[in-house]
A and B are shown apart, each in its own frame.
Chain A
Amino acid sequence: KNQVEQSPQSLIILEGKNCTLQCNYTVSPFSNLRWYKQDTGRGPVSLTIMTFSENTKSNGRYTATLDADTKQSSLHITASQLSDSASYICVVSRLNNNAGNMLTFGGGTRLMVKP
Chain B
Amino acid sequence: NAGVTQTPKFQVLKTGQSMTLQCAQDMNHEYMSWYRQDPGMGLRLIHYSVGAGITDQGEVPNGYNVSRSTTEDFPLRLLSAAPSQTSVYFCASSSKTFLAKFPDTQYFGPGTRLTVL
Contacts and interface: CB of A to CB of B under 8 A. Distances in A.
Do A and B make up one complex? Answer: yes
Interface of A: 4, 31-32, 34, 41-46, 49, 51, 89, 93, 98-108
10 contacts: A31-B101, A42-B111, A43-B90, A44-B108, A93-B103, A98-B56, A99-B56, A100-B56, A101-B59, A107-B40
Nearest to A107: B42
Interface residues of B, number: 28
A43 B42 contact: no
B106 A46 contact: yes
Given A42-B110, A99-B50, A100-B56, A89 B105 contact: no
A31 B50 contact: no
A99 B31 contact: yes
Contacts of A41: 110-111
B111 A105 contact: no
A101 B45 contact: yes
List 4 A-B pairs, minimum CB-CB distance, nearest first.
A43-B108, A105-B42, A105-B43, A46-B105
Contacts of B108: 43-45
Contacts, number: 58
Residue of A89, A103, A108 with most chain B CB atoms under a 10 A cut-off: A103
Contacts of A101: 45, 58-59
Contacts of B58: 100-101
A98 B43 CA distance: 18
A107 B103 CA distance: 22
Nearest to B50: A99
A43 B105 contact: no
Contacts of B4: 43
Residue of B45, B90, B103, B105 with most chain A CB atoms under a 10 A cut-off: B103
B30 to A, nearest CB: 10
Contact of B48 (A32, A43, A99, A105): A99
Given A43-B111, A99-B50, A31 B103 contact: yes
Nearest to A98: B56
Interface string B91-107: 01000001101110111
